[in-house]
Amino acid sequence: MSRYVISGYYGFGNAGDEAILQAIIDSLQSHDSGADITVFSAQPSKTALEHQVRAVHRTSFAQIVAALRQADLFISGGGGLLQDATSNRSLLYYLGLLTLARGLGCKTMVYANSIGPIKRTCNKRLACYVLEKTDFITVRDQLSLNLLAELGVHKPQIQLTADPALLLPSPVVAPEERVIALAVREWPSQHDFLMEIAIAGRRLVQDGFSILLIPFHFARDLAVSQRLAQEIGAGASCLMQAQSFDDLVIGLARSEVVVAMRLHALIMGAVCNRPLIGISYDPKIEGFLQSVGQPIAGSTADLQADHLYELVLAAYNQRVEVRSNLAEQLVKLRQYADKNAIIATSLAGGERA
């Protein structure tokens, strides 16, 4: 039995991050049946109950140190943790935990991360310094692998894997005809990308499609999803109550095409084998879509309604072929995703993967 401590953006009500956590737990337990797991969470009681693991508060220094002193492996991830686009504080927090774990004699692994963007020179240097001392790094997209090389991170073993959530099961649900799932979020931009989405949405509704807005991070995405549904008008609806992750995925599975800004709406759309169209606000969106050969309509800085509309029509008209190609890609990606836990359990057991 090995002891694992996991740190990430957990306990904040983000369905995508909770999916990552569950997938990591399931994967570790599948390769180490006696895995003893502790999670750093913003809501430890909720995390412990939902995921059936130990949990301590992510800002309780005493509890963090106590957990790390007993751990065989500290896991940072998964997700897009190592970036300074949202704040300096977030990057410093996760790098600080890696440093603390190392100082307490714990092996460390960056697990299926998207790295970057890291914009500030001082942050790039700090990230390189900390990551060079990490025992193993896995990243979930090629862009992150490239950025590590640019940062000068060479000493630890580094592998390209895939997002752990790809290992989660898909609901057996048939798609409903001409339904499009749409998962958006707020993002600062001088370009009114939400209006472009609304314009494309209105044209699709005129063509006989229905649009279901799915707030993937309910607390943050509900208002913008409601607003967008109102802008599109009749033919668009929005999930108005907080849903379990399984129910969110069922919503994706009931659609014929998934259009999303939220990464894990795209990932779970892929798990459900639905054609995907991404709208990028972060390189991780492009990184994932490249890995599954699915298109990006544009970014929050340049999205155009006409292009989005045409991509949705093309995805719908070619959905049988797209689903066949996507299924082939998923087989490979799930094998890559499983490598994360194989490496982690090997490290925790005292071996090099």
CB atoms within 10 A of CB 313: 16
Sheet holding 210-213, edge to edge: 236-238, 210-213, 179-183, 257-260, 276-280, 296-299
Is it true that 3-160 and 179-332 share their CATH fold?
A: no
When pLDDT is averaged across residues 171-183 and rounded to a whole number, the result is 96
Question: 353 pLDDT band (50/70/90 cuts)?
Answer: very low
Q: Is the peptide bond before 78 cis (omega within 30 degrees of 0)?
A: yes
Parse the chain into domains and list their residue ranges. 3-160, 179-332
Question: 23 pLDDT band (50/70/90 cuts)?
Answer: very high
Question: 245 pLDDT band (50/70/90 cuts)?
Answer: confident
Q: What is the pLDDT of residue 86?
A: 80
Model confidence over 114-140: pLDDT tens digits? 999 999 999 999 999 999 999 999 999
When pLDDT is averaged across residues 204-218 and rounded to a whole number, the result is 96
Q: What is the pLDDT of residue 352?
A: 43
Which CATH number, 3.30.70.60, 3.40.30.10, 3.40.1190.20, 2.60.120.620, labels domain 3-160? 3.40.1190.20
Q: First-to-last CA distance in the chain?
A: 17
Cβ-in-10-Å burial (0-12, 13-18, 19+) of 119 comes to exposed
242 pLDDT more than 90: no
Q: Whole-number mean pLDDT of the chain?
A: 95
Q: Is the peptide bond before 215 cis (omega within 30 degrees of 0)?
A: no
Are 172 and 315 contacting, i.e. CB atoms less than 8 angstroms apart?
A: no
Superfamily (CATH) of domain 179-332:
Glycogen Phosphorylase B; (3.40.50.2000)
Model confidence over 249-261: pLDDT tens digits? 999 999 999 999 9
The pLDDT > 90 percentage for the chain reads 92
C-alpha dihedral over 69, 74, 76, 78, to 10 degrees? Answer: -130
The pLDDT > 70 percentage for the chain reads 99
Model confidence over 42-95: pLDDT tens digits? 999 999 999 999 999 999 999 999 999 999 999 999 999 999 988 899 999 999
Question: 350 pLDDT band (50/70/90 cuts)?
Answer: low
Model confidence over 275-327: pLDDT tens digits? 999 999 998 899 899 999 999 999 999 999 999 999 999 999 999 999 999 99
